Chain A
């Protein structure tokens, strides 16, 4: 076979391939949009990943005739994440939600190789032509919780279980503490880091250690229900996280910060269907219904409920900000002057504790 005939044969082969792919393309056009979800935890964590899974189910319910969805749970943040994301992209998923911070760089790497696939990364800060980011203003919910806890604590020691000292968690601790001390200037917050998003035994141990230090309210920024259960066992109060954890501690559960991705996911999938999808950043709060407060414990007095609702409504209508100056850090230095409130950038980069938090941040 000389060069020319080989070229012809190749062209023929290419034409066949083109024809068949054209054929399947025509079928493809009527096919449903494939949407993939990558979760860091198990969908049965009844916390963070569970809430994302609820969002996926909401998409199925709302747009099930136009889309099919796939999820992969328990994906470790490391070398494995890139493979999972790429596998979704390679198997025809055109919109992929990667729902944990540690998936940021893997998402960007895959996005570069699959320019026609759209990616959405939760809680990160890097975007690209086909990578959007989204997160919720979790700290707004923490302001409401802090207001309630300030009125409910007797020992004035609050135990706070943190996952990782990242800005999202630190700003949550700070917003909580500011609201707490507005109601109760004597109260202080003690933080224990468990260095995991989901580790029920570690979280339970942290809760017990904090209770032994005199804490009568356990607040968590981790995803399992173990801290709520520990508080329930000891007859103390708890504030849940990510999903409504009332059923794990009906007596202890004061309220909780519940993530609600349903509306966002439906809206973004719809945008892809309509061809209006853009790689933008969404940082929604109480107003946008990306988070809400779990039902208040009936044991909370009516005037405290009214106080909490006032804070919540204030945040929603813009008359109140979680970080309203003057705000001092642990050393007493004024970080946000009176008459101002923290900018979004200050909140997104927050790596210092406000007055009233006991414990140090790793530097």
Chain B
């Protein structure tokens, strides 16, 4: 028997369930301090460049919002599913499909757009993401195929589909055969909300999604079913909750929101369809969802924090010549400390051999 054991605690401290992300951030900053110091940089200046400098201008804050928008849209949808034990790992693919369908409408009506084009594109983006998420939902409810695998694999199919389209039908006819579409027209571009920044209408979509998902989970019967299925599937079965319905609902919801995120990128900051629409927002959103404790408000904060770690990494590189790999190290440390404190919230560390065998209090 090993000398160090993990023993389940009877009850997780509610304070620390929400305190853990803050603790993880604090520990990440402390480790970053040591890391910068060990690398020979002034740690205070480096942390300042990383976490404060980007927030000192309106443009910087705007960029933070631009970056947090797709992360939030994907993560709030995913979190609803995660609460019901529906593990949609394929938000990246659903996001890509949203860009393909919604952006495709901009190209289809190129030169003849009106006020109706943008709403149509938004609906098209949502529909594309939903359609892509419907495949894992069908496979799970019909054949009991793991949605973790199917949604993940469909991501690669979506990326290849995008690649095919930008090299073929979507290609700019005047673009020297380069793989990208025309630039969208004004009527097919999401309006900028704050002049001087790139903050676009998608940010409001994200806020609406956050509010909507909060109401869904906290205030509706469906939300109650989602929570019960997630906590104790057996009890949900006895209560007569239809698990299949919840699987369909959560996958379509997260797929639709991810599709909206994809449309927001191509009709927002990018303004055209390119071979790489997202630098992995759909995957980062999984981290964001857990960092935000699957709570809509927590997700907004987590998305902003993740966005800051990306932007801060660039700022530190431009300002101080820090290597880009620092960004990845910071994100890794954050996740490591969060998962570490999660373990310690639910278990206590015992050193030495087991003395008592009382486990009655475990839930």
Question: Which residues on A are within 8 Å of B, measured CB to CB?
Answer: 36, 42, 70-80, 82-84, 86-88, 90-91, 101-102, 105, 109, 125, 164-167, 170, 195, 348-351, 362-363
Contact = CB atoms under 8 A, between A and B. Distances in A.
B277 A78 contact: yes
5 contacts: A70-B317, A70-B321, A76-B279, A87-B314, A351-B177
Given A79-B270, A167-B178, A362-B164, A195 B315 contact: no
B265 A78 contact: yes
CB-based closest 5 A-B pairs = A79-B269, A362-B167, A76-B279, A351-B177, A74-B324
A164 B179 contact: yes
Contacts of B323: 73
Contacts of B183: 105
B276 A72 contact: no
A104 B268 CA distance: 17
A167 B279 contact: no
Contacts of B179: 164-166
Nearest to A93: B318
A42 B324 contact: yes
Given A70-B321, A84-B314, A87-B315, A77 B275 contact: yes
Nearest to A75: B314
Given A78-B276, A91-B319, A350 B177 contact: yes
A195 B276 CA distance: 10
B150 interface: no
A87 B318 contact: yes
B183 to A, nearest CB: 7
B270 A78 contact: yes
Contacts, number: 91
B168 A362 contact: yes
Contact of B163 (A78, A90, A195): A195
Nearest to B315: A87
Nearest to B174: A125
Contacts of A80: 67, 279, 310
A146 B66 CA distance: 47
B59 A86 contact: yes
A259 B180 CA distance: 25
Nearest to A170: B177
A363 B179 CA distance: 11
B221 interface: no
B181 to A, nearest CB: 11
Interface in B136-175: 160, 163-164, 167-168
Nearest to A86: B59
Nearest to A39: B324
B86 to A, nearest CB: 29
A78 B310 CA distance: 14
A72 B176 contact: no
Contacts of B178: 101, 125, 166-167
